[in-house]
Amino acid sequence: MKIFLDTADVDEISFAVSAGVIDGVTTNPSLIKQAVEKRGGSINMEEYIEKILELTPGPVSLEVISVSSEKMVEEARLLYSRFRKHGQVVIKIPVCSSLDGVNNLYDGLRAIRILASEGIPVNATLVMSPEQAILAAKAGATYVSPFAGRIDDYIRDRIGMKRGRDYQKSDYYDFNLMKKVESTAIDRVLSSKNTNSPKDVYLDMEVR
């Protein structure tokens, strides 16, 4: 098992590295902005990222801020070219981004495929469902980052669970879902025209 620390705070990274408990770091623009502001906001951004890379012995994920596939690829190439000398840079690409108000369902996957074909390691982020994870991996992502908190909220809402209650054993879906669902079922999910189908198919299948 590998543990990745989700932060851009160099103090937190330094502490975790010295304790020997992390294998890498994942960041995003918001985390970097918060960390820089914590130090007065006058720090050079590139120098700060360099510091994170120097502190971390393993992979460090740097996320793009663009939302179209063309812009994501362009930005990813620049980031990778600028920091690749450290040998552990991974580019975070959102699988399904809607920051511009448009639900770009496949832009992230296109970007992942292009970058992977160029040998640029990718961490697929904004992963909200099993099918998105499958598609990201198929496109060539090295890592997949599910949004566990939002998925947790979705499941709680779906089964009518109060937010303050802990999960019971009966609430959990089988963690070996991908091993139990036959390929025909997965094909059904990926090819369905029903807008509600992906989540509903997985939740309605007898995989408890």
Q: Which residues are catalytic?
A: 92
CA-CA distance, 110 to 128, in Å (whole number)? Answer: 17
CA-CA distance, 62 to 60, in Å (whole number)? Answer: 7
Query: How are the residues of the chain apportioned to helix, strand and coil, as percentages rounded to the nearest 5?
Result: 50, 15, 35
Q: Which residue has the tokens 């303050």?
A: 164
CA-CA distance, 113 to 33, in Å (whole number)? Answer: 28
CA-CA distance, 81 to 12, in Å (whole number)? Answer: 26
CA-CA distance, 127 to 155, in Å (whole number)? Answer: 15
The two tokens of residue 61 are 């994920």
CA-CA distance, 73 to 80, in Å (whole number)? Answer: 10
